Amino acid sequence: MQLKGVSAVVTGGASGLGAATARELIAAGAKVALLDLNMAVAEKTAAEIGAIAVKCDVTSATGAVEALAEAAAKQGVARILVNCAGVGTPAKAVGKKGPMDLDAYVKVVQINLIGTFNMIRLAAHAMQQLEPLADGERGVIVNTASVAAFDGQIGQPAYASSKAGVVGLTLPLAREFAETGIRVCTIAPGLFLTPMLEGLPETAKEALVAATLHPKRLGKPSEFGLLARHIIENPMLNGETIRLDGSLRMSPR
């Protein structure tokens, strides 16, 4: 899909991987709406990169409908959805204080998995009403999983299972949406320099980098944005989960 003049929605677009992806799409000529709960940061980012900011709770059925409607009213129905909204609060299933709080587990799954599906079902329905472009294409959906979906560490049962769920959505949705010309792919990033990792001590960062084969560093959010853009622009990428991790395989701890 050619990005020039096309409307796109990026959830979690205020910062991190979402903001970097939005920046890349705008550089290619797309019109981008940053959907986020943190409107102060979203509006600041939007002003910097030439996007619009829309408040959205991805876990809310009505809230997501309203956010997509607002974005569509301002820049047209989105042909592109990039799901970057997510959380990664660590906790063992059974810790020093006993069993993990069930509500904490539910919250991670609610945002990472159910929130992703919520946005997909609504955005895909709107895409299906649009006229097809070249090759019968109507839209592209790019989701964010994690290498934790495959090599989840101790303390990541909620995060890893929620991201594994996103991986599990990818092929069934690509198959379902094929008849209406909508592609679905997922990126499974490794260790990227995002707000989620920036708070770690330097020693912890160094240990994580040591497990990465090449390059020996944390990933740059811009590199995630480059892959998201390539997925959108390459019509043969569909139904795939792509690891973006410098060949990292995480250890149990």
User: Does residue 105 have an active-site annotation?
Assistant: no
Residue 183 lies in a domain: yes
Number of domain units in the chain? 1
* pLDDT, tens digit, 9 for 90 and up, residues 191-209: 998 877 776 667 777 877 8
Give me the pLDDT at residue 18, please: 97
| DSSP per-residue letters across 88-127 | -----SEETTEEPPHHHHHHHHIIIIIHHHHHHHHHHHHH
Give me the pLDDT at residue 206, please: 80
Give me the pLDDT at residue 205, please: 75
Residue 19 lies in a domain: yes
- Low pLDDT (below 70) residues in the chain: 199-201
Give me the pLDDT at residue 227, please: 98
User: Among residues 105, 159, 177, 192, which one is catalytic?
Assistant: 159
Residue 249 lies in a domain: no
Structural domain that includes position 210: 7-243
Residue 88 lies in a domain: yes
Residue 248 lies in a domain: no
Residue 1 lies in a domain: no
Give me the pLDDT at residue 203, please: 77
Residue 253 lies in a domain: no
The residues near 182 (Cβ < 8 Å, ≥ 6 apart) are 124, 127, 128, 137, 138, 139, 140, 141
CATH number for the domain spanning 52: value is 3.40.50.720
Residue 195 lies in a domain: yes
